[in-house]
Amino acid sequence: MYSKIESKFWQDEKIRTLSPNARYIFLYLLTSPHRNMLGLYFLPDLYAAFDVGLSPEQFKEGFQELLRKGLVNYDETNHVVFIKNFLKHNPLENPNQVKKAIKKLQEIPRTPLLKDLYEYIKNELKPHKPHYNALLEELRKLLGEQFVEQFNKQFDEGYGKPVTVTETEAETETVTVAETEKVNEQFQQQLQQLYAIFENNIHPPTSIEVQKITDWLEDVEADVIVLAIEEAVKANKRTLKYIEAILRNWIGHGLKTKAAVEAYLRDWECKKTDQNKEEPFVIPESVLEKRKRLDEEARQPLNIPPEKKEEILKVVKGLVQQS
């Protein structure tokens, strides 16, 4: 897939007022290997920061500029980005492309940004391109009332607001925003490390694989996922399916920490070693005796009669003369 970036991109007033980092991030969003033909796709911000080689703080600062300028929207809950004018510069040219775009919709997490895409197509594109009708119809199905209410509520509540936790009848403790954000930051740092380890040992993760890694981290420690990747590398089966099978096996045994998995692997290696042990091969005594007797006989001088010696010598001399 390729994306069209017009030369007047650099003369656009919004682009010219962006900082270098924000401009770089916007170019990345337009050409990201995770993008699709809709300009609406799954992209965790930390994974994007890793892709462009910026720290999470640098990426966040530049990305916030894009949000303030109205160039993109972002759903933090579902990690979905929407590039507002993507379809303007990269339109779907015919019904076949629209069919492909509808399939791509099924790969995107259900997000309130689907409504942004719907409104953009309806107001900006449909009047000029009737073949968008099928895409609008599909979006209408996804944007039923129940769906919108459910996800708008999730989006509005967000992650990281204060929560009241009752510890005793007489005492309550309020978990502050700062404390929650600290936990969230640690979680995202672990995610970024896992993305890098997966890329170095398997391949750059796709958006689906990124979501899988995120889901795993909710079930087991990050170190357990690293161990599963290492096991896949040892077995030379560098696939998501194999790693997932390992994790399912460990979780099925109740192993969710690094210490528990390492203890399990040690026990497994010991059992495997015991099963492979063989009794040492011992040569029977009778065989040794026979070999000793044959060696002694071989060392005895040959008792050849004189007349036989003469006959042998004549034969040898004849052979020498012939040669």
CATH code for the domain of 244: 1.10.10.630
Report pLDDT digits (tens) over 100-119.
999 999 889 888 899 999 99
pLDDT digits (tens, 9 = 90+) for 116-136: 999 999 888 866 678 888 999
- Statement: residue 147 has pLDDT above 50: no
- Whether residue 97 sits in one domain with residue 44: yes
Summary mean pLDDT of the chain: 80
Higher pLDDT, 269 or 284: 269
12 & 142 share domain: yes
pLDDT of residue 214: 85
Residue 124 is given by DSSP the state I
- Of 139, 157, 175, the one marking the end of a domain is 157
Q: Does the residue 198 lie in any domain?
A: yes
Q: Say whether both 12 and 149 belong to one domain.
A: yes
Same structural domain for residues 120 and 17? yes
Q: What is the dihedral of CA 278, 283, 284, 287, to 10 degrees?
A: 150
Residue-wise pLDDT tens digits, 10-41: 888 889 999 999 999 999 999 998 999 999 99
Q: Is the dihedral of CA 280, 285, 290, 291 positive or negative?
A: positive
Whether the pLDDT of residue 179 is over 70: the answer is no
Residues 198 and 151 in one domain: no
Sorting pLDDT into bands at 50, 70 and 90, what band is 75? Answer: very high
Q: Which residues contact 96 (CB under 8 A, 6 or more apart)?
A: none
Whether 167 has a pLDDT exceeding 60, the answer reads no
Which are the contacts of 243, defined by CB distance < 8 A and separation ≥ 6? 202, 225, 228, 229, 231, 232
Q: Please state the separation of Cα 92 from the chain's center in Å.
A: 30
Residues 41 and 98 both lie in one domain: yes
Phi and psi at residue 64, to the nearest 5°: -60, -35
- Mean pLDDT of all residues in 292-315: 71
Which pLDDT value is given to residue 102?
Answer: 94
pLDDT score recorded for residue 291: 72
**Number of domains into which the chain is organized:** 2
Phi then psi for residue 175, to 5 deg, are -80, 115
Domain range holding 254? Answer: 192-276
Judge if 149 and 47 occupy the same domain: yes
In a domain, 54, yes or no: yes
Boundary (domain end) residue, out of 157, 177, 211: 157
Q: What was the pLDDT predicted at 145?
A: 41
Contact indicator for 153, 116 with CB cutoff of 8 Å? no
Q: Are 40 and 136 found together in one domain?
A: yes
One domain, residues 214 and 77: no
Together in a domain, 25 and 73: yes
Half-sphere exposure of 215 (CA within 13 A, CB side): 10
Mark whether 197 and 153 lie in a shared domain: no
Question: Is residue 300 predicted with pLDDT exceeding 80?
Answer: no
- The pLDDT value recorded for residue 151 is 41
Strands (E), 71-196: 72-75, 80-83, 163-168, 171-175
Task: Give pLDDT, residue 195.
Answer: 85
Q: Estimate to the nearest angstrom the gap between the alpha carbon of 179 and the chain centroid.
A: 29
48 shares its domain with 143:
yes
Q: Which residues contact 90 (CB under 8 A, 6 or more apart)?
A: 3, 4, 37, 39
Note the pLDDT of residue 142: 84
pLDDT greater than 50 at residue 163:
no
Are the C-beta atoms of 117 and 40 separated by less than 8 Å?
A: yes
Rounded Cα gap, residues 59 and 87, in angstroms? 24
- pLDDT at position 28: 95
* Structural domain includes residue 292: no
Q: pTM of the predicted model, to two decimals?
A: 0.50
Res 290 pLDDT > 50: yes
317 falls within a domain:
no
Residues of the chain with pLDDT > 90, as a percent, come to 35
204 occurs within a structural domain: yes
Residue 133 domain flag? yes
pLDDT tens digits, 241-278: 999 999 999 998 888 899 989 988 888 888 766 666 55
In a domain, 164, yes or no: no
**Domain closes at, from 242, 261, 276:** 276
Distance CA 284, CA 214 (A): 62
Domain membership of residue 294 (yes or no) is no
DSSP code at position 130: G
